[in-house]
Amino acid sequence: MAGLTLKSLRKSYGEVEVIKGVDLNVEHGEFVVFVGPSGCGKSTLLRMIAGLEEITGGDLYIGDKLCNAVEPRDRGIAMVFQSYALYPHMTVYDNVGFGLKLAKAPKDVRDKKVREAARILQMEHLLDRKPSQLSGGQRQRVAIGRAIVRQPEVFLFDEPLSNLDAALRVDMRMELSKLHQDLGATMIYVTHDQVEAMTLADKIVVLNAGVVQQVGSPIELYQRPANLFVAGFIGSPKMNFVDLTVEEIGTDTVTVSGKDIGPTTVPADPTSLKPGDTVTLGIRPHDLLEQSSGNLAGEVSLVERLGNETNVSLRLPSGASWLAVLDGDHELRIGQSLPLTFAPERAVIFDKTGTALHPR
Amino acid sequence: MTALSEAGAAVSPGAPRAIRRSPYPGWFFLPAALIYGILFLVPTLASLYFSLTRWTLFNSTFIGLDNFAQFFREPFLIQGLVNTVIYAVVTSGLKVVLGMMLALLLTSAVMARGYLRSVVFFPVLVSTVGVGITFTVLMHPTQGMINETLALFGIKGPGWLVDPKLALLSVALVDVWKGVGLATVIYIAGIVAIPKDYYEAARIDGATKWQNFLYVTLPLSRPATATVITLSFIGGLRTFDLIWAMTRGGPGFSSDTIASVIYKQYQAGFYGLSTAGNVVLFVLIAILVVPLTMLLNRRQGHE
Amino acid sequence: MTKLSSRLIGVAAILVSAVVFLVPFAFIIITAFKDKQQAALLDFTWPNGFHLWSNIVEVVTTRNWMMVTAFINSTILTVASVTLLVIFAAMVGFVLARRKTRFNGLIEFLILAGLMIPPAVVPTIWLLQGIGLFGKLHGLILIEVAYGLPFSIILYRAFIATIPRELDEAAIIDGARPLDVFFRVILPLLWPVTVTNIVVQSVGVFNDFTNPLYYLPGNANATVQLTLYNFQSQFNTSYNLLFTNILLITIPPLLVFLFFNRHIVAGMTAGAVKG
């Protein structure tokens, strides 16, 4: 039993193409997260899978069935909306059982399934209430319960946690994770929050402007981002970037230097490079270390002392703004010059098209 | 049928084009469209033709613009036209001014506000014929209560509905009595919606009550004013019930409006002329109301 | 403004409004209590004796209980036309609000036209005769629906915009077909607007004089407004009976007013403030 397959999926609104050919394979039982900035098309893609948006081009397979022309209710999917979309005039019981009622399921079957879903989500005591009498987290649960009751092949989540406050979000994240383990169902989850993506996903799909940037596990995306976009999107705080010139090519290294950084040899795939080329070097804030004999230095512009670590905003000689996160507490003055270094293996080199040149 | 939410999705070559039924089906329009189309649009369009004929409902002879020529030739028909405009201007003007005044009164801290609002609004809901009959009786030149009360003060009350010069205006006054409550209620909604911040800013600037009204209340209740003017003006142009209940267009033709003319011609069997009256009314409304609406909305845009 | 002067204005306002707005109604009530002779005086004296009941009986039984027939007709007319109006207008408002087609502009224009253009009465009679609905109550019902659609559609369209589209989508995923979405999800949520619409349209149809006058000639089918109008000649000298009639037909709107005042006001100001 397969999960989900997208083949060259396209979506246009009139002349404007918003999804530009997406290929994706989702295994049964995988938790896949679509992540990307606003407007990247992640919600549109989800809605195309749900059947709420027409597919302009390409094929969608749910299970093994070609579903382009299939009605949402026959696709074996269930969806949890960002605003939960609970029917305000119905009780929780009727909300959860609405689909079954429409399908004319016998009353006792309906009752059994609704109560089972309520049990899984620990909301049996809420069944007689109306949505307006529930808290955000409770409504969330009812929305999930409505989805569970459909016993779908694929669960679709459209930014379900973005309406919750921070503390609740953390709790619900863990509950969702547990739910996934318990049900073992395929789940597709859309969010703009990369922390949610990193913590929940088996596989992350990073989207930008309707194009898939990279598909991989959270750690893969963190350690080997495919391009500048993914590198800058995944990981908080953002990766630092600087443009440098290639000085020398090695077998699997590249030596780069520039106004801000002295000559540094970084492991990379040098095949497409020659000396004199401009490349971008990326290094994460956590990977910068204070060292008096470091190969780069910046002027401190802002210091945030958090106790266990210190966030330092720096201005580099070329004018670029960088962020360093140093372990422990460092007392630094604004305006002072801070010498830094980093382990070359932690750096990533990007060519002028933005593609990452990881060592082979 | 086309897709769910967007219009005109482009077809990409090579892909199996998904055609699914929309949850917002076009046939939802059908019952309303049928009733509206057949019972309203068809007669309206037909009137454009039949106004150019001499008509007996069973056959019609084309006579070109004769009906309209007659309309603008016969004094009693012209009178109806003129009356209609006067009536509309007077009633909407009074409703706007009095409605605003009442609204200001009813949104200030005067006592028994709830009672006042109910009392002012109730006439809107009452039968027009009933109101017409009642005021006809009250306006009786000698026995009516209005003139009898005036007589107590030594004033000889006019012949409200029997004096040809006054009849139309008397009916207009009754119209305002009945309808000002609606204008008031609309204004109240508009005034209440004005954020307190503006008044507080004006207070800091040292504005007097009159300045408050002129520079805060009046401009910010423009949408309400626009609505009241438009609604009462159109209503005034189309007025029939009250005129018919009170004067039947009399004495003579002094209180005829186009709507009562239409009815009279219908009663007399001059169907073509009656329909021409409808067209005249339609055109009148169009040439008066459309620029009016544009004027009102354009001024709003300058806010 | 000082406290005293604002109080004075308040008192003055109450007095003036009492005189202007209440006296006519008081007159109606008082005259309805009088007998024929006293009523003919057309003044504001206190009735000599309680003749209201006998007046009512006489008005109701006159001409073979015509008032009762009229009340029944008016009720059927109001209930039927308002019911159809609510359902059909909600359907249109729903699709109009949700679905952007190139016809939307045309439909908006037609609706606006309906609010402005006076109905062409003689051609309508000609049409009704052609389809056999002239002079029949169900013909008038359809007419009232047709004339009431523009206002109702506008009301619904504005309100449906406040129901999130996601509810439709959730229902679709749950397996709802278009009629399910409309009747099980949308219509229940439209209840506040429906109440307002029912109230406003009911008062309008009940008080309608012009349309029954044109399209429903003949006594068997008269509505209460028509019978009142026709009784003018019959009760020519019996003002007590005439005003009893007026009193009787003022009762339904009064009841509506007492129970639904809030809704009426809300309905009539809907959209007015935003222009």
- What are the tens digits of pLDDT across the range B271-302? 888 888 889 899 989 898 888 888 877 655 54
Residue environment code for C159-197, b if the CB has 16+ CB neighbours within 10 A, otherwise e = bbeebebbbbbbbbbbbbebebbbebbbbebbeebbbbb
- B7 pLDDT more than 60: no
Share of chain A above pLDDT 90, in %: 65
Neighbouring-strand partners of residue A7: A59
Binned at pLDDT 50, 70 and 90, residue B2 comes out as: very low
Identify the closest residue of chain A to B14 by CA–CA distance: A57
- Interchain CB distance below 8 Å, B138 and C181: no
* Phi–psi pair at A134, nearest 5 degrees: -110, 155
Of B118, B226, B238, which is closest to C275 when you measure between CB atoms? B226
Task: Decide: A57 and B14 in contact? Cβ < 8 Å.
Answer: yes
How distant is the alpha carbon of residue A239 from its chain centre?
A: 16
> What is the structure's pLDDT at B15?
41
Identify the closest residue of chain C to B5 by CA–CA distance: C99
Helix (H, G, I), strand (E, B) or coil at B248: coil
- A137 pLDDT more than 50: yes
Instruction: Give the torsion through C-alpha atoms of A226, A229, A230, A234, to 10 deg.
Output: 150
Q: Which residue has the higher pLDDT, C188 or B152?
A: C188
Average pLDDT, chain A: 91
Picking from A249, A301, A296, A311, the residue whose alpha carbon sits closest to that of residue A276 is A249
Give me the mean pLDDT over the A252-275 stretch: 89
- Interchain CB distance below 8 Å, A150 and C174: yes
Give me the mean pLDDT over the B174-198 stretch: 87
Mutate to test the interface with B, among A23, A54, A79 (most CBs of B within 10 A): A54
Task: Decide: C270 and C158 in contact? Cβ < 8 Å.
Answer: yes
- How many angstroms away from the CA of B24 is the closest CA of chain A? 13
Pick from A1-10, A272-281, C242-251: least confident: A1-10
Distances (CA, A) of A252 to A230, A255, A258, A346: 23, 10, 20, 15
**ipTM (interface predicted TM):** 0.85
Of C172, C184, C185, which is closest to A72 when you measure between CB atoms? C172
Task: Decide: C24 and B137 in contact? Cβ < 8 Å.
Answer: no
Tell me, what amino acid is at C80?
A: A
Residue A83 with chain C: CB contacts under 8 Å: 164, 166
Identify the closest residue of chain B to C150 by CA–CA distance: B36
Tell me, what amino acid is at A102?
A: L
Q: What is the pLDDT of residues A43-64, one digit of tens each?
A: 999 999 999 999 999 999 998 8
- A310 pLDDT more than 50: yes
Neighbouring-strand partners of residue A95: none
Give me the mean pLDDT over the A132-145 stretch: 90
Give me the mean pLDDT over the A328-351 stretch: 91
Task: Decide: B28 and C94 in contact? Cβ < 8 Å.
Answer: yes
- Interchain CB distance below 8 Å, A102 and C174: yes
Which pLDDT tens digits describe chain C residue by residue (275 residues)?
566 777 777 778 777 877 889 889 988 888 888 888 877 777 778 877 788 888 888 888 887 888 888 899 999 999 999 999 999 999 999 998 888 888 888 888 899 888 888 998 989 998 998 898 888 888 999 999 999 999 899 889 888 888 899 999 999 999 898 899 999 999 999 988 898 889 889 999 999 999 999 998 876 668 989 888 888 887 777 888 888 889 999 999 898 888 887 777 776 665 454 43
Q: What is the pLDDT of residues B79-138, one digit of tens each?
A: 888 999 999 999 999 999 999 888 888 887 666 677 788 888 899 999 999 999 999 988
Give me the mean pLDDT over the A290-300 stretch: 87
Kind plus residue range of the DSSP H or E element containing A59: strand A57-62
Q: How many contiguous H segments (helices) and E segments (strands) does chain A have?
A: 8, 20
Give me the mean pLDDT over the A66-79 stretch: 91
Distances (CA, A) of C152 to C82, C194, C196: 10, 9, 10
Q: What is the pLDDT of residues A96-135, one digit of tens each?
A: 999 999 988 899 999 999 999 999 888 999 999 999 999 8
Mutate to test the interface with A, among C98, C174, C190 (most CBs of A within 10 A): C174
- Asked if B75 is an interface residue toward chain A (Cβ–Cβ < 8 A), one would say no
- Asked if C63 is an interface residue toward chain B (Cβ–Cβ < 8 A), one would say no
Task: Decide: B241 and B260 in contact? Cβ < 8 Å.
Answer: no
- Asked if A110 is an interface residue toward chain C (Cβ–Cβ < 8 A), one would say no
Residue environment code for C239-257, b if the CB has 16+ CB neighbours within 10 A, otherwise e = bbbbbbbbbbbbebbeebb
- Asked if C184 is an interface residue toward chain B (Cβ–Cβ < 8 A), one would say no
- Interchain CB distance below 8 Å, B15 and A54: no
Q: Which residue has the higher pLDDT, A161 or A2?
A: A161
Helix axis angle for C52-98 and C104-116, nearest 10°, is 160
- How many angstroms away from the CA of A266 is the closest CA of chain C? 50
Give me the mean pLDDT over the B65-78 stretch: 82
> What is the structure's pLDDT at A61?
93
> What is the structure's pLDDT at C8?
79
> What is the structure's pLDDT at C270?
59
